[in-house]
Structure 1
Amino acid sequence: MVFNYNIIQWLFLFFFYSFCGWCWESAYVSILEKRFVNRGFMRGPFLPLYGCGGAMMLIVSKPYYDNIFLVYIAGCIGATILEYLTGVLMETLFKVRYWTYDHKKFNYKGYICLESSLFWGVCTVVFSHFLQLPIEKLLLAIPMNILSIVTIILTVINSCDFMLAFKTAIELRDVLMYMDKAREEMRRMQRRLDVIIAFRGEDVKEVKDGIGSRMENLGNKAYELGFGLSSKVGEIGNGIGSRLDVLGSSLEKSFSTVREKIMSSPSDYVLGVREEVSELYAKYRIIKDRMTPAPVKNFFEWYKERTIMGNPTMSSEKFKFSLEEIKEKISMRDKGSDESELKEE
């Protein structure tokens, strides 16, 4: 009977397929990016999705091995289900997509597409009827004691790597969520400062107490249209105004303007308004200081940088701007390191 392996052999094949998948993906993406890319969720030379895919192809093709058409259909269905479930699970856990088919025709929510499904069917036929046969001969030729030792070592190494990768992905999720909350809080602070800058002290107090709520709305619209201090027209629409560094720069200038107005005419601003400005600034400093809280403090370490750079197609619909900002910062750090190395040479 074909593909009748024991647990150790299945595990070894899983790692073997994971390694082959890493070689293929890393070579392909490196050519597209014109630089070496250590592709994948993990940092070691293994892509578990390919390991699961290879094992799945053998399992689904086993009952229909003598009928190539049924093997093809089983491969299409099995691989599509695996790809969909993996994509949904990873985005649910990490709030990030590691691949997307949004640019392909006949895709379903970007997780799967018709072209990919048909391709997986072809891969299943080629893999199960041609490639696996010589692999099986090599597998069966390896003494069982040696195979067991190698498999155990690979299991330990990959388990550690996966745990680090999982921890990194969770930290990235926490970073994105924190950045999103910080961005919204900074926007609220900017809108309030716009009102304080635009009106005199007593008017500001009335706005705060609700008497002049339409003025608050005016401040909101002013910010959204992009004439908040240091903002350029169109920045919000282009996503630039959503960047934390742009928001921070705008707030710094707004606080400076408010302080100058209060110092030049302190009698125009009641004590409550001055206290509010002080509270806003204290809150702003806390946000700035917490840009590196516990889950973020050591984020730009080698392992985590490589995780981001190893997945150039990584995307997040909910945290789009935050993820782009992180990618840009890491890319700039990476380019800076390359330039420093060239200068030293």
Structure 2
Amino acid sequence: MTHLNFSTDFYHILWFFIIYCFLGWVWESSFCSIKAKKLINRGFLIGPYIPIYGCGALVVYLTLYPLRDQLLLVYIGGVIFPTILEFVTSWVMEKVFAATWWDYSNEKFNIQGRICLKVSLFWGFFSVAMVEIFHPLVLMLIDKIPRHTGEIAGGIFVVVFSADFAHTVVATLDIKKTLAKMENVRADIFQFLEVHNLGAEYKELSPSRMLNYLKEQWEERKEYLENIPVAGTISEYKEELEEKLSALVKRYEGNKPKRRRARVLQRHVKAYPKLKSTKYSVSLDEMKKRLEKLRKEK
């Protein structure tokens, strides 16, 4: 086929990014929805775009489009460059947000669950299809848009995208801080129960169930507790324990993201069912349960 010009001016680069971000969102949302048999709005951000696809497409375009007459090189580069981008993106997001957003651990030939051979090979085929089929069509579409209209629309996108990105990043970092606070209180609860020799089974419980657990442990260890030299009666000691634990549990449950932050987390969980916290897994699971409970109560 006849190849079109290699455009690298800011206007075209911006529109390449916009279109491929959108196409990536369409692809991911459709694929994941079909796989899960329910509608899934894929993506880290709120809008219908996934930046990693836009960045990946630009990398392929800028490095491989000039080699479009050598499809083997395009394929090899298409395997390598997007795979590096996917690995780096996964690593950065994990370090910044203390969470993993996708996981290829169950796939053969994966590296740290961040990348895998099957997906990397797909990137190669996508790159060939991009330079041979999609990109010439994308370029023709962009050139059909009146330049002035395209500049205004592109400017609006930059503003909306920047606001979306800033809001989502700040909200996700706020959620991370909330999870850290929950983990700190949880550690205080563990220390409290250990100091009072109330067993190790609590580590499998959510803090909201720990008061009931304390009462059960009290009945089982009543004879032991009667021999502890404390001021006042045994019942007073029991009440004191319950009061202290109740205060800790309230501190734990009081750590929750604001409504807007909760919506961001809820969307993250829906978009990335395999979302896991690398530092605060128990508290994240607890927060997921709270959000699900609130959703059902509406």
Q: Sort the Cα spacing of 1:191 and 1:286 in 2 relative to 1 into closer, same or farther, 3 A.
A: closer
Paired residue for 1:56?
59
The aligned runs of 1:264-279 (5 Å cut-off) are 268-270=229-231, 278=240
The aligned runs of 1:70-89 (5 Å cut-off) are 70-89=73-92
Residue from 273, 292, 295 that aligns with 1:331: 292
Q: Secondary structure at the match of 2:107?
A: coil
1:32 positional shift: 3.0
Paired residue for 1:247?
210
Question: Cα deviation per residue 1:115-174 (whole Å; 9 max; x = unaligned)?
Answer: 111111111011111111111111112121111000001111111111111012112211
Is the 1:183–1:247 contact (alpha carbons within 8 Å) kept by the matching residues of 2?
no
Paired residue for 2:253?
291
1:92 and 2:95 aligned: yes
Please give the alpha-carbon distance, in whole angstroms, between the structure 1 residues aligned to 2:43 and 2:28.
8
1:313 and 2:274 aligned: yes
Is the 1:60–1:78 contact (alpha carbons within 8 Å) kept by the matching residues of 2?
no
Q: TM-score, normalised by structure 2?
A: 0.85
- The residue identity in structure 1 corresponding to 2:290 is K
1:35 positional shift: 2.8
- Give the greater-gyration-radius structure (CA): 1
1:114 positional shift: 1.2
Residue from 177, 180, 184 that aligns with 2:180: 177
In structure 1, the gaps of 5 or more residues are 196-222, 338-345
Please give the alpha-carbon distance, in whole angstroms, between the structure 1 residues aligned to 2:182 and 2:132.
50
Residue from 20, 25, 38 that aligns with 2:23: 20
Q: Secondary structure at the match of 1:159?
A: helix
1:328 positional shift: 2.8
Question: Cα deviation per residue 1:38-89 (whole Å; 9 max; x = unaligned)?
Answer: 2111111111111111112211213422211111111111101100110000
Is the 1:83–1:111 contact (alpha carbons within 8 Å) kept by the matching residues of 2?
yes
Is the 1:17–1:54 contact (alpha carbons within 8 Å) kept by the matching residues of 2?
yes
What percentage of residue pairs aligned between the two structures are identical?
A: 27
- The residue identity in structure 2 corresponding to 1:62 is Y
Q: How many equivalent pairs are there?
A: 292
In structure 2, the gaps of 5 or more residues are none
Please give the alpha-carbon distance, in whole angstroms, between the structure 1 residues aligned to 2:228 and 2:273.
55
Q: Sort the Cα spacing of 1:59 and 1:248 in 2 relative to 1 into closer, same or farther, 3 A.
A: farther
The aligned runs of 1:116-265 (5 Å cut-off) are 116-194=119-197, 223-224=199-200, 226=201, 241-251=204-214
Is the 1:2–1:62 contact (alpha carbons within 8 Å) kept by the matching residues of 2?
no
Please give the alpha-carbon distance, in whole angstroms, between the structure 1 residues aligned to 2:150 and 2:123.
29
Residue from 4, 8, 15 that aligns with 2:7: 4
